[in-house]
């Protein structure tokens, strides 16, 4: 039985852990707040007392941490010192590609492998085991990850060198940011014109306008339901959008759409940081008071 270490079992990570357990893996967990992991422990996971213990006692170490500072703290500051030659570490969070390059280089010096392996599909995809994963880093490490990640993904794509998985994930979130803004504007326009909401959604979902963002957020925006975000919050995308802006700048790419979407998210996050993106409708420019 393969022992899988896991850190960052939050809205995305927790269902990934459940799927790993369901696939028969021995899962060793660490988190800053052990009480939040009680449900996973009850489901069969074991609890470690430190990130160092996770790295020392696991064959492969996975994570789904929140941002670059957390990546540096846990991987460089805590687990690097006990990493073994040939051991594979892969984090499914979203952060700056440069951080992945830094961490991968540090682990390579010890003969270990660090992969940036961000996933897309949100908590529902994590629960259903249908996430898609873009990976940057050592090809041999990707082949170690692939059968393990099959427990919660439907696709693992190797994009090349360290950081390149994150580059594609940031492009994904660039697209998502724009589509969520369009979904908010669509809701406002349907309301402004007084169109039948149910019929409008049926038509839009049946044509070329259809998208996952539209299906998830348009009904919520029209119903003015902004809570129950299940981790899919405005504030989380605001953090990622900083990295998107840096990626666009590094590619000397000027977007005509992203700056408006980013500014809308920033304004909305002041009072609705923890709300779902449907709440963007509250902050769109209006002339009707």
CATH for 83: 3.40.50.720
Residue at token pair 């992969």: 115
Same structural domain, 132 and 233: no
Same structural domain, 18 and 156: yes
pLDDT band at 286 (very low <50, low <70, confident <90, very high): confident
Same structural domain, 13 and 141: yes
Helix axes 212-222, 164-193, angle to 10 degrees: 40
Helix axes 164-193, 234-250, angle to 10 degrees: 120
Structurally, how many domains does the chain consist of? 2
Give me the CATH number covering residue 266. Answer: 1.10.1040.10
Same structural domain, 135 and 233: no
Average pLDDT of the residues in 167-184: 98
Same structural domain, 136 and 195: no
Residue 1's pLDDT is: 72
Burial class (CB in 10 A: 0-12, 13-18, 19+), 155: middle
Distance CA 283, CA 70 (A): 31
Same structural domain, 23 and 139: yes
Q: Is 289 part of any domain?
A: no
Give me the active site residues, please: 169
Task: Give the CA radius of gyration of the chain.
Answer: 20
Q: Where among 142, 160, 178 does a domain terminate?
A: 160
Same structural domain, 249 and 144: no
The pLDDT tens digits of the residues spanning 128-141 come to: 999 999 999 999 99
Same structural domain, 155 and 232: no
Residue 202 structural domain: 168-283
Same structural domain, 234 and 155: no
The pLDDT tens digits of the residues spanning 1-10 come to: 789 999 999 9
Same structural domain, 142 and 101: yes
Average pLDDT of the residues in 149-156: 98
Q: Is 288 part of any domain?
A: no
Same structural domain, 23 and 133: yes
Q: Is 230 part of any domain?
A: yes
Same structural domain, 148 and 175: no
Residue 287's pLDDT is: 61
């Amino acid at each position: 039985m393969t022992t899988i270490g896991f850190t960052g079992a939050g809205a995305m990570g927790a269902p990934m852990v459940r799927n790993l357990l369901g696939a028969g893996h021995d899962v060793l967990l660490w988190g800053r707040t052990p009480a939040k992991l009680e449900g996973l422990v009850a489901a069969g996971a074991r609890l470690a007392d430190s990130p160092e213990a996770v790295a020392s006692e696991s064959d492969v170490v996975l994570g789904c941490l929140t941002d670059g500072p957390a990546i540096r703290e846990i991987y460089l500051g805590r687990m690097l010192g006990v990493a073994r030659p040939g051991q594979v570490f892969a984090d499914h969070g979203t952060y700056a590609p440069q951080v992945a390059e830094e961490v991968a280089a540090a682990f390579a010096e010890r003969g270990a492998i660090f992969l940036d392996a961000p996933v897309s599909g949100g908590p529902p995809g994590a629960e259903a085991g249908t996430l898609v994963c873009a990976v940057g880093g050592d090809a041999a490490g990707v082949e170690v990850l692939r059968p393990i990640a099959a427990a919660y993904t439907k696709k693992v794509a190797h994009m090349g060198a360290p950081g390149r998985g994150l580059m594609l994930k940031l492009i994904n979130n660039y697209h998502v940011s724009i589509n969520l803004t369009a979904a908010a504007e669509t809701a406002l326009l349907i309301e402004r014109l007084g169109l039948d909401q149910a019929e409008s959604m049926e038509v839009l979902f049946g044509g070329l306008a259809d998208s996952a963002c539209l299906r998830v957020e348009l009904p919520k925006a029209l119903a003015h339901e902004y809570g129950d975000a299940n981790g899919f919050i405005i504030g989380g995308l605001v953090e990622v959008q900083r990295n998107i802006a840096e990626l666009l700048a590094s590619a000397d790419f000027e977007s005509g759409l992203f700056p408006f979407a980013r500014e809308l998210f920033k304004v909305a996050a002041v009072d609705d940081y923890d709300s779902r993106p449907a709440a963007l409708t509250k902050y769109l420019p209006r002339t009707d008071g």
